[in-house]
Homo-oligomer: A and B are copies of this chain.
Amino acid sequence: MKCYVVGLGPGAFSQMTPRAMQAIEESDVLAGYTVYVDLIKDHFPGKEVLSTPMKREVERCKLAVERAAAGSTVAMVCSGDAGVYGMAGLIYEVAQDYPPIEIEVIPGITAASAGAAVLGAPLIHDFAVISLSDLLTPWQRIEQRLALAAEGDFVICLYNPASKKRSDYLQKACDIVLRHRSAETVCGLVRNIGRAGEESSVLSLADLRETQVDMFTTVYIGNSQTCNLRGKMVTPRGYRID
């Protein structure tokens, strides 16, 4: 009668909280996107596994809620934080069509935080998180948000900056930001955060515009104060240091 929605954090077990571990331990059923379930299922033997491939999110959440409504304790797992572009929202939405079940979201470290730690400290001041995926959001709306965030001098963190079908979206996003910010604005990229093959770079907005990224990359565009300190991307909060 309970569905946990569990954020696994940025990949490695060392960044999964004890509370997340415990929720999975308590559960009878381990549900989620096949790739994430496969990453962890051997560490939690004896669970029934309910996994579905990418783009089957509604089906995945319905299966999980159905099992919880039928009396099981279910852990729906997500990469990063289940509450940031994750399954937490869809679980609540889907659950409206079933008798009430208990839902508990267990937060995890989202890519914005995890990637920021790799790059230095880009998110020390106000920031906007924007997904460049237009599967569920009109591109026009995404462009509007980019323009307003750029105008407001927010640090901008981009999720889903590209996919096979959207290879030029990051370039388009950079062009919008360039209307408000200099080409020298300090930016950063992190790929495979917390996983094997993690790589990162700190570069200018002009160079970011010319960079090809993939869906495993998180992108950071600094505000007007963000600097490159010995190769790290750092946004000052505004303290006087002398």
A positions within 8 Å CB-CB of B: 5, 7, 9-10, 12-19, 22, 57-58, 81-86, 88-97, 100, 103, 105-110, 113-114, 116-118, 120-131, 136-137, 141, 144-145, 148-149, 151-154, 229-230, 232, 234-241
A-B contact pairs, 24 of them (CB 8 A): A13-B18, A15-B107, A82-B121, A83-B116, A83-B122, A83-B124, A84-B113, A86-B121, A89-B120, A89-B235, A91-B121, A93-B236, A96-B229, A100-B230, A103-B232, A105-B117, A105-B120, A107-B117, A113-B113, A126-B128, A128-B149, A136-B239, A145-B153, A148-B148
- A17: chain B residues at CB < 8 Å are 9, 14-17, 109
A14 is contacted by which of B5, B14, B22 (Cβ under 8 Å)? B22
- A96: chain B residues at CB < 8 Å are 229-230
Contact B151 A85 (CB under 8 A): no
Contact B109 A107 (CB under 8 A): yes
A143→B177 CA distance, assembly (Å): 20
- Beyond A92-B232, A113-B110, A241-B58, whether A85 also contacts B148 by CB under 8 A is no
A19→B117 CA distance, assembly (Å): 13
A212→B92 CA distance, assembly (Å): 29
Q: Which residue of B is nearest A142, CB measured?
A: B126
